[in-house]
Structure formats: C-alpha cells, structure tokens
C-alpha cells in the first residue's frame, strides 16, 4: 500500500453509529488529490472525500476503502466585495468564511445549523437553512466549481458549461469527483444581528397556521417541537422567526469555543423521564424570553455550535438523525401521525425541528428539499427498537409522497431511496468509478 495512506480505526460521522477502519490520505494541495487517486487505484481501493465529518449517517464513510481528507485545501482564492462573490478551496469551513465576509457586510446565502461544515461538504449535500422558503438551497448560489476525477481530468464546471455534471455534483454526496474549489454568491447584510420573534406553538394545527403566516412575513423561520407531548398538546413547541436587523455592527462570531462534553453521556441518561423534563424546561426557558429581541447571528443560526462534541449527549452507541420532508397537501396528517408514533415510543430528541420548504427548485439531482414540511429529530441508538420506530416513520413518509435526507441518513433502505430519488441512476451514470460510500452501496446495492 502506498505511503500516501495510513490505516485508522474509529473514523465516524457525526451520529457515531458506524465505527469502521479506513485508509486515510490527506490532500494538502489540489495536485495532491491526483496523487491520492493514483495511490488508491494502485491499491485497488475505492475512495471518498471527507471534510469535517458533520454528515450524520454513512454518506461520508467508506468502510474497507479509503478517505481523502480535504481540510488541507483551506485557502481563500478571491473575494470580490463589489460583486459579492467568494472563491475558496473546498476544505475551507463555513466558520472560516464567515470570519472573512461578515466584517465586510456579507453572509452566506443560506446556512445549515452548524458552521463547522466545509464548503465542499455544503455543496456535496446541497444544504439548506431557515430561509429555504425564500432562498432555496446552497447549490443555487454556486457559480462554478473545480472538480477532480480519478482519470486525471480537472474541470471547471458550472450550470452553463456542464449542466448534467453540475446537477449531479451539487447534492451528489461527493460521488462525481472531488471538489477542489468553488465560487459562490454571497448575501449583503445590514448588520450581524437578527431581529427575532419567539412565540408559543399550542399544537400541530397551530404550527401550520403560524408557519404560513410567518413564512410570508419573515426571511428566516423555524420551530422547535416537544416530541414527548401527546393529545391536545401534540406538536406543542416554540416558533422562531427573524430578519436581518438594521442598524448594527458587522462583528463576526467569537473564535472562542464554548464548553465541550468531555465524554459520552451515560446510556441511562436519556430515557422518557429525562426527555419529558428536558423538553418542558427548554420550552419554558424559550418562552420566558422577550417575544421580540435582537440577537447575534451566531445564537440564531448556530445554537448547537456553542457546545463542543454535543453528539456525545446520546451515549456511546451514538444516534440516528431522522429528517423527512412531506408535500404540503399531505403534511398536516402525516406530521401528526409521525409525532403520535414517536410520542408512543418514548424515544425522541432533546431538540426536534419542524419547518417549511418553499417552491424554489433545488439544483441537484439528489437535492433533498422540495416544497413541503420537514421534520428533523435525533434518536439515540437503542438497536432494534430504534430501527423499528424509524421503519414505521418511513412508511408514513413514503405513503405521503415524502422522502428522507441522504446527508442525515444511516439506515435508509434501497427501496425508500430509489422510490424517492428517481434521478439516482443519472448520478450513477456520472459517478466517478473510483468513488463510493457506505451509503451509496446500501441504497443502490452497488459493490464498487
């Protein structure tokens, strides 16, 4: 085996369920990617790009194969404040981008719930944020990108020059090649502050009433749901909405890390009693704050980033994140059915998120968002019982014409994936033959 790779065990994605041995190579320059491709090919190993490991399931893992870490590709290449565009290497994190562009009066066009995501990862998963109902997904703002393939080809691609390959790469889970760099459009902001509104949600029906009104009024909306509530309180929670505030300064978030969980929480710490207690306390704390306030973007968009290694909260066996989207015409009944099943199970999250997606088309063949309502929850890994619960939820989602989020998934069936993402064969046709992942092999039954 080439010296460009070394063996590591314990490489996990954010959910920490899969613990597998990989051969690891680190890309430090764009040219080194070609050498790592050659080494993997010579050793007969498939490979896959790996950034900051914030995908929850197994879409960024390649057990038995190799991973090419991209964090070494961390150089800023061009920032045009007049045009509002940024070009950077794929291993630069969203955290690092914000430190550069916020003081200049810009922000990411949309952002996921963590800033510890690489630029390449954000494109490969076509991430979305609280402003999807107006802005759509991250991929809509990618003007062009450089893609390296294992046959030695290095191409600059865009929707105009390579429409099919671009659509397969944005949201394509890193399967079409390794993204070396990208140019993205930024959003001008009047300040680094958000004018926030927080209000109570009484139940599922009240969520749908609020979501329709607030999405028309505000740029950013999201709801937290108490997944332990039942009966008339089913779906109770807290609805947050916000817009960029003016006036205010352009101070980027602090570089200091907050407290970190130093070890795995005991498995017994997460049970129906502690879940109910936490959810009741969290709702009370949120609703005890002023209904209208001005907050820094870091607290509004990235509350979980304030706790280092929060993924240890679910214990040593890890957790599954389950995120679905249901079309609007089926969403109310399906959401109610899902929350009833979860509440009966006694399993569920400390934080469950419910929000709406807008009608803006996603640019990627495998992009997750579509018009409808999305529900995201964490389930501690309790083995067979947890898997059975998620299979029941799958049945509700598929019957309602919905689908699951590949970037979050760690156990979706091939049937569920192929029914929900009929364009997967187009991605397979454009997949780099040397690149594979545990997720892709499972949902396509592909051995390469």
Instruction: Give the tens place of pLDDT for each residue, 350-389.
Output: 778 999 999 999 999 999 999 999 999 999 999 999 999 9
Q: Is the pLDDT of residue 349 over 80?
A: no
Phi-psi map region of 126: left, alpha, beta (phi>0 left; psi -120 to 50 alpha): left
Angle at 224 between CA 222 and CA 227, to 5 degrees: 145
pTM score, two decimals?
Answer: 0.94
| Whole-angstrom distance, CA of residue 204 vs CA of residue 404 | 21
**pLDDT the model gives residue 278:** 77
Q: Give the residue from 103, 55, 7 showing the smallest Cα distance to 368.
A: 55
Contact 201, 225 (CB under 8 A): yes
Least confident segment among 45-59, 90-104, 162-176, 310-324: 310-324
Q: Give the residue from 375, 316, 373, 308 showing the smallest Cα distance to 348.
A: 375
Q: Is the pLDDT of residue 168 over 90?
A: yes
Q: How confident is the model at residue 336 (pLDDT cuts 50, 70, 90)?
A: very high
User: Which carries the bigger pLDDT value, residue 434 or residue 280?
Assistant: 434
Instruction: Give the tens place of pLDDT for each residue, 257-293.
Output: 666 655 566 655 667 777 777 788 888 888 888 899 9
Contact 338, 375 (CB under 8 A): yes
Instruction: Give the tens place of pLDDT for each residue, 103-138.
Output: 999 999 999 999 999 999 999 999 999 999 999 999
**pLDDT the model gives residue 351:** 75
Token digits for 432?
């780099």
| Whole-angstrom distance, CA of residue 335 vs CA of residue 244 | 30
């Amino acid at each position: 085996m080439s010296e460009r790779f070394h063996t590591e065990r314990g490489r996990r994605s954010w959910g920490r369920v899969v613990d597998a041995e990989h051969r690891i190579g680190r890309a430090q320059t764009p040219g080194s990617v070609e050498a790592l491709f050659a080494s993997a090919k010579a050793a007969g190993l498939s490979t896959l790009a790996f950034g900051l490991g914030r995908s929850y399931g197994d879409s960024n893992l390649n057990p038995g194969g190799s991973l090419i870490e991209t964090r070494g590709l961390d150089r800023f290449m061009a920032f045009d404040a007049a045009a509002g565009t940024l070009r950077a290497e794929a291993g630069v994190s969203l955290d690092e981008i914000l430190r550069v562009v916020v003081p200049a009066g810009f922000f990411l066009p949309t952002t996921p719930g963590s800033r510890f995501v690489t630029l390449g990862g954000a494109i490969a998963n076509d991430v979305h944020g609280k402003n999807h109902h107006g802005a759509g997904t991250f991929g809509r703002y990618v003007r062009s990108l450089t893609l390296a393939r294992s046959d030695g080809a290095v191409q600059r691609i865009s929707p105009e020059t390579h429409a099919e390959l671009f659509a397969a790469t944005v949201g394509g889970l890193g399967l079409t090649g390794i993204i070396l760099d990208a140019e993205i459009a930024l959003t001008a902001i009047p300040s680094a502050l958000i004018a926030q509104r927080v209000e109570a949600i009484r139940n599922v029906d009240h969520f749908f009433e609020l979501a329709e009104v607030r999405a028309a009024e505000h740029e950013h909306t999201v709801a937290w749901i108490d997944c332990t509530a039942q009966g008339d309180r089913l779906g109770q929670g807290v609805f947050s909405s916000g817009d960029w505030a003016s006036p205010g300064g352009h101070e980027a978030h602090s570089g200091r890390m907050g407290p970190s969980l130093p070890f795995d929480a005991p498995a017994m710490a997460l049970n129906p009693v502690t879940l109910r207690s936490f959810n009741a306390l969290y709702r009370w704390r949120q609703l005890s704050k002023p209904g209208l306030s001005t907050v820094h973007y870091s607290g509004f968009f990235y509350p979980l980033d304030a706790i280092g290694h929060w993924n240890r909260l679910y214990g040593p066996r890890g957790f599954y994140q389950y995120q679905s989207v249901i079309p609007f015409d089926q969403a109310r009944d399906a959401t109610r059915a899902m929350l009833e099943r979860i509440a009966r199970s006694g399993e569920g999250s400390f934080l469950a998120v419910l929000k709406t997606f807008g009608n803006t088309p996603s640019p990627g063949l495998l992009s997750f968002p579509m018009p409808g309502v999305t529900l995201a929850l964490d389930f501690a890994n309790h083995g067979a019982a947890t898997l059975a619960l998620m299979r029941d939820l799958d049945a509700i989602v598929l019957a309602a014409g919905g689908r699951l989020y590949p970037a979050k998934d760690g156990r979706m069936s091939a049937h569920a994936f192929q029914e929900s993402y009929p364009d997967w064969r187009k991605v397979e046709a454009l997949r780099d033959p040397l690149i594979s992942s545990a997720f892709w092999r499972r949902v396509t039954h592909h051995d390469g």
